[in-house]
Amino acid sequence: MGQGAFGFIKTTGGKRMIEIQNLTKRYGQIKAVTNLNFSVEKGEILGFLGPNGAGKSTTMNIITGYIPSTEGTVKVCGYDIMEEPQEVKKRIGYLPEQPPVYMDLTVNEYLDFVADLKMVDKKKKRAQISEIMDLVKIGDHKNRLIKNLSKGYKQRVGLAQALVGNPEVLILDEPTVGLDPKQIIEIRRLIKALGREHTIILSSHILPEVSAVCERVVIINKGEIAAVDTPENLSRGFNSASKLSATIAGPKSSVLSAIREIYGVKYADVNMEKDKETINYIIESDKEIDIRKPLFFAMARLGYPIIELKSMDMTLEDIFLHIVTQEKEVM
Binding footprint of another protein on the chain (CB under 8 A): 27, 32, 58, 61, 64-68, 86, 89-90, 92, 94, 96, 98-105, 109, 113-114, 116-119, 161
Q: Toward another protein, which CB reaches closer, 175 or 231?
A: 175
Which is closer to another protein, CB of 33 or CB of 214?
33
Nearer to another protein among residue 68 and residue 251 (C-beta):
68
Q: Which amino acid is at 33?
A: V
Which is nearer to another protein, 14 or 68 (by Cβ)? Answer: 68
| H or E element at residue 158 | helix 151-163
**Min CB(169)–another protein separation in Å:** 12
Q: Give the Å distances, CA to CA, from 234 to 39, 201, 321.
A: 18, 18, 12
Burial 283-297 (b: 16+ CB within 10 A, else e): bbbeeeeebbebbee
| Nearer to another protein (CB atom), residue 117 or residue 185 | 117
Residues 82 and 60: their CA atoms lie apart, in Å, by: 15
Name residues whose C-beta falls within 8 Å of residue 228's C-beta, 6 or more positions apart in sequence.
38, 216, 217, 218, 219
CB of 1 to another protein, least distance (A): 12
State the minimum distance, in angstroms, from the CB of residue 102 to another protein.
Answer: 6
Cβ at position 191, least distance to another protein in Å: 19
Closest CA to 65 of 77, 87, 81: 81
Q: How far is the CB of 186 from another protein (least distance, A)?
A: 23
Which three-class secondary structure state does DSSP give residue 174?
coil
Comparing CA positions, the residue from 201, 186, 120, 123 lying closest to residue 156 is: 186
- The residue count of the chain comes to 331
| Closest to another protein by CB, 90 or 243 | 90
Q: Least Å distance between CB 34 and another protein?
A: 15
